[in-house]
Amino acid sequence: MSQVAGLFNSSLARKYWMALTGLFLCLFLVGHLAGNLQLLLPLEDGAKDQFNLYAKFMTTNPVVKILSYLTYISILLHVVDGIVLTIRNRKARPQKYAYNKPGANSAWNSRFMGFLGTVILVFIVLHLNAFWAKMHWGPIDTYMIDGEEVKDLYTLTIASFQDASAGLGMTIVYVISMIVLGFHLVHGFQSAFRSMGWNHPKYMPIVMTVGKLFGIIIPALFALIPIYIHFIL
């Protein structure tokens, strides 16, 4: 096998791509969260205009566009690679155990990464459909800020979550999805470092701790946004 082929199709290479795309998506989460936390700003301080101008910047700036295409590619690769690995792993044990006790030696979320990932993928589709698609192709209201036309993503977002019945349902779906994301990240973050071979007794405990905190804090802050909009705003 040629060395170059080894970087694409071998079992280890598949893990490298899984890890690299996963870590890139972790960076994306930080950026996405930082932007979305603007939804928590008080309305009287101009939160609406600030958020809508930010949303316009995020859909028009060329650097952000490149980053967003990288994000789409990463999600696609992460999903395809995950499916390929899951199929290969299933094939590696055609005959199951009559009695198995996996809980005795491993954490449940580490064994259900494929399932957790599938839930997250469904969430991404719903989430893109609810906001991203409307931002790009409408229907969405527009208005002028200092002679500049902006799409009112702020009002659309607030209305989506504030609605008494559909908004409550959406809030619940979002919160559950973020809990699922948390379990996926708590295992995935440190696993990515191991897969890349970035492992050293000195800094692995730091990676483990940062991974756990990342997997709890980031989804918790994301979940806070729909909860705030539905129950407090």
Partner 1 sequence: MKLNLKIWRQKGPNASGKMVDYQIDEVSPDMSFLEMLDVLNEQLISKGDEPVVFDHDCREGICGACSLHINGEPHGPGRGITTCQLHMRSFKDGDTIYIEPFRAKAFPVVKDLMVDRSAFDRIIQSGGYVSVNTSGNTIDANATPVRKENADAAFDAATCIGCGACVASCKNASAMLFVSAKVSQFSLLPQGQPEAKERVMNMVSQMDEEGFGNCTNTGACEVECPKGISLENIARMNREYLKASLTSK
Residue 110 in contact with partner 1, rule: CB under 8 A: yes
Calculated CA dihedral for residues 154, 160, 161, 162, nearest 10 degrees:
90
Asked if 195 interacts with partner 1 (CB under 8 A), we say yes
CA distance 119 to 114: 9
List, in sequence order, the alpha helices (H) in 128-203. Answer: 133-137, 153-162, 166-195
CB of 3 to partner 1, least distance (A): 5
Which x/- pattern, by CB under 8 A, does the window 22-51 give for partner 1?
------------------------------
Contact between 205 and partner 1 by CB under 8 A: the answer reads no
Under 8 Å between Cβ of 57 and 67: no
Q: Which of residues 1-20 bind partner 1 (CB under 8 A)?
A: 1, 3-4, 6-7, 10-16
Q: How many Cβ atoms from other residues are within 10 Å of residue 34's Cβ? A: 10
Near partner 1 in 161-190, by CB under 8 A: 187, 190
DSSP designation for 9? T
Q: How many CA atoms lie within 13 A of 109 on its CB side?
A: 18
Could you say whether residue 199 binds partner 1 (CB under 8 A)? Answer: yes
Q: Does 94 engage in binding with partner 1 (CB under 8 A)?
A: yes
Residue nearer to partner 1 on the CB measure, 1 or 144: 1
Phi, psi (5° rounding) for residue 165?
A: -100, -60
The residues of the shown chain that bind partner 1, judged by CB under 8 A, are: 1, 3-4, 6-7, 10-16, 85, 88-89, 91-102, 104-107, 110-111, 113, 187, 190-191, 193-199, 201, 204
